Structure 1
Amino acid sequence: MSRLRRMAPQSRQARQSRRRSYDQYCAAARALDAVGDRWTLLIVRELLAGPRRYTDLHADLPGVSTDMLAGRLKDMEGAELVTRRRMPPPVSASVYELTERGRALLPVLRALAAWGAPALDEPRPTDAVRAHWFAIPLLSALEGLGARVVQVTLDEGEFHVRSGGGGQVTYGEGPAADAEVRLRTDAATCRALAGGELTLTEAVDSGRAVLEEPVRAS
């Protein structure tokens, strides 16, 4: 009996693991085994902007419980999408960051954002909004500026986008001291740009967006 009792938790854990898999020999099913759970891709969205503390992740994922977030991060570590490391003094805090495999999900999120953009009508009363959530939907439009670093300012805040060699693109919260171009606009214009209803040139010509080149000290 004691042996059976000891084995029972392992059996339950094995059954739970099997339930989390589609058990299909299919690349799409394998991908969904890793990222198909609720909140997982939104955690990736946040970490694509750089390493984040648990408290910062929780603040920018309104609606997720602390237990759910902790569980998802643990699962993502197990799937080798995320790593956790200790920051050196004086910060002395742990941060989560994407692995190379996790960062490779950027094109997936870009495709999802393009597919979902037409569904962005007026914000609902219950909708949370963060400025950097517009970064992924706007990547294609901002890349057309040909600038290495673009800073975007909205009423909701600021974010910046960096274009590196080999087509690599990253983004982050807040302003960028080395921005080559600054774009000022609003959430409604971002929505129109993301949905393909408006080009960036049309947004500037109509006054819905303003492009500025920062003044450099001589």
Structure 2
Amino acid sequence: MPPRQPRRRSYDQYCALARTLDAVGDRWTLLIIRELLAGPRRYTDLHADLPGVSTDVLATRLKDMEAQGLATRRKLPPPGAATVYALTPRGSELLPVLTALAEWGTPDLAERRATDALRAHWFALPLRRRLPATEVPAVVDVALDEGVFHVRLGGEGPAYGDGPAETPAARLVLDADTCHELCEGALSVEQGVKAGRIEVLGDGPVAAALRGE
């Protein structure tokens, strides 16, 4: 007889917030969702971009997310043939929640601690809200010393992704400190361009809009 699985802890409150925390309040769950908002990810990729999480905890959280209907696991067709995890529509609905939490926490990034890990795409959620709106959906690359990621401004598809996009409408080149100021709202892209702190690459209307032209 298989061992009885322990019951997940619950607040046991008939409250929408309590139910939400029952689903996503465990340590690491929201950060896993942050990674999956970039699109399907392999277990090894998730582990690499969640420094500090143990393999046991990551596996448990992913199983819990599948049970809660927040994530699914599937195998990619050849030649990939890798197993990946992806958010369900229910899980993807957490995008504005994580965006709001990231914006709330951005002021605490004023000083980077010596123990802080950093992945460039961790700036994506708060940055998306600070980029000027474009007339048509567009994808913009953001290049930091720490790496390149891309954000989607409108349209369908993942909100952001690690690495450069296949056909970006523009590219921003800047450093992490400047990116933090953008995320905090202390600096606009146009102001950063004029100050020589941000370079906008591209010739189309999206690049022109980012430059304030």
TM over 0.5: yes
Q: How far 1:90 moved relative to its partner? A: 1.8
- Once superposed, which parts of structure 1, at least 4 consecutive aligned residues long, lie more than 4 Å away? none
Task: Give the structure 1 partner of residue 44 of structure 2.
Answer: 55
Q: How far 1:125 moved relative to its partner? A: 1.1
Q: How far 1:121 moved relative to its partner? A: 2.0
2:80 is equivalent to residue 91 of structure 1: yes
SS in structure 2 opposite 1:23? coil
Of 25, 28, 37, the residue aligned with 1:39 is 28
Judging changes above 3 Å, is the alpha-carbon distance between structure 1 residues 165 and 56 closer, same or farther for their aligned structure 2 residues?
closer
* TM-score, length-scaled by structure 1: 0.87
Matched residue type, 2:167: D
2:12 is equivalent to residue 23 of structure 1: yes
Task: Give the structure 1 partner of residue 138 of structure 2.
Answer: 148
Name the % identity.
Answer: 61
2:92 is equivalent to residue 120 of structure 1: no
Q: 2: distance between equivalents of 1:202 and 1:214? A: 19
Q: 2: distance between equivalents of 1:211 and 1:163? A: 16
Q: CA deviation digits over 1:5-40, x for unaligned, max 9?
A: x7xx64x73xx33xx111111111111110000000
2:61 is equivalent to residue 72 of structure 1: yes
SS in structure 1 opposite 2:160? strand
Contact 1:54–1:95 (CA<8 Å) still a contact in 2? yes
Q: 1: distance between equivalents of 2:60 and 2:198? A: 41
Judging changes above 3 Å, is the alpha-carbon distance between structure 1 residues 160 and 78 closer, same or farther for their aligned structure 2 residues?
same
Q: 2: distance between equivalents of 1:65 and 1:122? A: 26
2:180 is equivalent to residue 180 of structure 1: no
SS in structure 2 opposite 1:68? helix
Of 168, 185, 189, the residue aligned with 1:196 is 185
Task: Give the structure 1 partner of residue 198 of structure 2.
Answer: 209
Contact 1:153–1:159 (CA<8 Å) still a contact in 2? yes
Q: CA deviation digits over 1:148-181, x for unaligned, max 9?
A: 1111100011111123448x76111111231111
Contact 1:52–1:97 (CA<8 Å) still a contact in 2? yes
Q: How far 1:143 moved relative to its partner? A: 4.3
Matched residue type, 2:148: E
Judging changes above 3 Å, is the alpha-carbon distance between structure 1 residues 214 and 60 closer, same or farther for their aligned structure 2 residues?
farther
Matched residue type, 1:150: V
Question: Unpaired segments of 5 or more residues in structure 1?
Answer: 1-5
* TM-score, length-scaled by structure 2: 0.89
Q: 2: distance between equivalents of 1:199 and 1:128? A: 26
Q: Size of the alignment, in residue pairs?
A: 203
Q: 2: distance between equivalents of 1:165 and 1:138? A: 17
RMSD: 2.0
